[in-house]
Amino acid sequence: MTLTLYNTQTRQTETFTPLEPGKVKMYCCGVTVYDLCHLGHARSYIVWDVLRRYLLWRGYDVQYVQNFTDIDDKILRRAQERGVTMQELSDRYIDEYFTDLRSLNVMDADVYPRVTEHIPEICDLIQALIDQGYAYPAGGDVYYRVERFGSYGKLSGRKLEDLQAGASGRVSEAEAQKENPFDFALWKRAKPDEPHWDSPWGAGRPGWHIECSAMVRAILGDTIDLHTGGGDLIFPHHENEIAQSEAASQKPLANYWLHNGMVRIDAEKMSKSLNNFVTIRDLLERPTEPMVLRLFVLQAHYRKPLEFTAEAIAAAENSWNTINEALRFGSDYGKQLGWPDSPECQAEVQARFTTAMDSDLNTPGGLAIIFELAKELRTQRNVLVHGGKLESDAQQLAQVWATLVELAQVLGLEATAAGTSTESGPGDAEIEQLIEQRAVARKAKDFAESDRIRDELKAQGIVLVDQKGGGTTWHRE
């Protein structure tokens, strides 16, 4: 089985072959830390988290780096509005990033470089570009000569004559000192009362694009295996990264460029600039179970647009309830069924899952296999709840469950802890407590209280089943 990935630069699905056998160098463009992360960010970081998890599961040693942009015009404006320093604002939203993304079970990167920690490396790269004629200082600024880089546009497919200076809103309008309106800033002269750093060209701060080029180079080297990010970064950010890095090193920056599709609301891209975004915090406080949000993202192929609707979230919640119930089958019934401590996985199912995921990280195909396993376990759970006899061999069922748990972990889907619930209504611990109260009432022949507890739980979707031999089991409708 061979992993294939769609390479944005070649516009082809290619066999993945790392630079060094068994090892992967992977860089993901991180957030600009001036506000809470929105659902578009969640999609991107969940998708690349799954790629990383899948590579690890396949046996690769993955070095994963994701930066924080902690100096930017937007950060400066927001800090000034709130009367705080740029660092105070950045530190706050870096903390908020970790709160939100860890709640979605996104693994921490191996390294989180900050731009402000890499100013010397940024200056060194700019100087190298000047020395080679790819950049020039002008009045305290430094610009990149776009026309000097002959293959500019190879990632985005745009022709130089069609490009617009200042794309993305990050690069200032062309100044008189520019040689060409297409040239973009590598270093920006400091304005009064702005944070700044010393450089050979005067006090200032780096441009956006040079930051990632320098951090990749400093931590991972001249060429990496995978460079990932949202589709909105293809131009100008990733195009400019290529121009800077490859001009300086004369080597490919990345062998594979991967980009996820955008999240859309009312057929428009979700973004802060359009003011139509929903933050991760908004969704989790509604409340939406974190695993529901993760499942919602993975139900669509990563390169396709993802349509956000209340109905889509509700459907994901129903799907997650099925998976979650199945994931907890082992802890609920494994001991009762005499399962071994570490059941074996089903090799044939693992192989089918691998085939799906090897096809350009086809998470919908992987989820289809997970649902097969989950539905089988849910069927058997209902049999046990109603005191019936298992239709499947107990040991085979143990293998089904072990396979489900392993494959779900590859997608970062993990069962809700005991005592909590993904559905609205009481958690497991509260249900068990009410069942005990009902048992006491029945023993005291207080049938009115017993019926009240049963009816209360039923109104919340909890069905009680009194067993012939004594005791009561329950399940959610």
Closest Cα partner for 170 from 124, 115, 222?
A: 115
What CA–CA distance (Å, rounded) separates 287 from 383? Answer: 31
Closest Cα partner for 91 from 73, 75, 77, 111?
A: 75
Lowest-confidence range among 160-164, 175-179, 254-258, 334-338?
160-164
What CA–CA distance (Å, rounded) separates 228 from 243? Answer: 17
The yes-or-no verdict on residue 454 having pLDDT over 50 is yes
The residues facing 257 across adjacent strands are: 227
Task: Tell me how long the chain is.
Answer: 477
C-alpha 317: how far from its chain's center? 18
What CA–CA distance (Å, rounded) separates 69 from 73? Answer: 11
What CA–CA distance (Å, rounded) separates 349 from 211? Answer: 43
Q: What is the CB-side half-sphere exposure of residue 371 using CA atoms within 13 A?
A: 13
Give me the pLDDT at residue 201, please. 97
Give me the pLDDT at residue 170, please. 47
Give me the pLDDT at residue 174, please. 46
**Percent of the chain beyond pLDDT 90?**
70
Q: What pLDDT, in 10s, does the model give residues 379-396?
A: 888 888 777 777 668 889
Closest Cα partner for 76 from 64, 65, 89, 66?
A: 89
Give me the pLDDT at residue 52, please. 98
The yes-or-no verdict on residue 291 having pLDDT over 70 is yes
Q: Helix (H, G, I), strand (E, B), or coil: what is residue 270?
A: coil
Residues 399-406, mean pLDDT to the nearest whole number: 97
Q: What pLDDT, in 10s, does the model give residues 461-474?
A: 788 888 766 778 77
The pLDDT confidence band at residue 444, using thresholds 50, 70 and 90, is confident
Give me the pLDDT at residue 273, please. 64
Which has more pLDDT, 168 or 162?
A: 162
Give me the pLDDT at residue 426, please. 67
Give me the pLDDT at residue 167, please. 41
Q: What pLDDT, in 10s, does the model give residues 51-103?
A: 999 999 999 999 999 999 999 999 999 999 999 999 999 999 999 999 999 99
Work out the end-to-end distance of the chain between its first and last CA atoms, rounded to an integer number of angstroms: 41
CB within 8 A of 81, min separation 6: which ones? none
Q: Helix (H, G, I), strand (E, B), or coil: what is residue 128?
A: helix
Quote the crossing angle between the two packed helices 239-249 and 119-131, to the nearest 10°. 70
Which has more pLDDT, 223 or 166?
A: 223
Give me the pLDDT at residue 391, please. 65
Residues 422-445, mean pLDDT to the nearest whole number: 73
What CA–CA distance (Å, rounded) separates 477 from 475? Answer: 6
Quote the crossing angle between the two packed helices 39-57 and 394-410, to the nearest 10°. 120
The pLDDT confidence band at residue 439, using thresholds 50, 70 and 90, is confident
Tokens of 86: 């740029």
Which has more pLDDT, 451 or 228?
A: 228
Pairing state between β 254-260 and 224-230: parallel
Q: What pLDDT, in 10s, does the model give residues 301-349?
A: 999 999 998 899 999 999 999 999 999 999 888 888 889 889 999 999 9
Give me the pLDDT at residue 175, please. 60
Mean pLDDT of all residues belonging to the chain: 90
Lowest-confidence range among 58-67, 132-141, 430-439?
430-439
What CA–CA distance (Å, rounded) separates 152 from 169? Answer: 20
CB within 8 A of 162, min separation 6: which ones? none
List, in sequence order, the alpha helices (H) in 71-178: 73-82, 86-103, 119-131
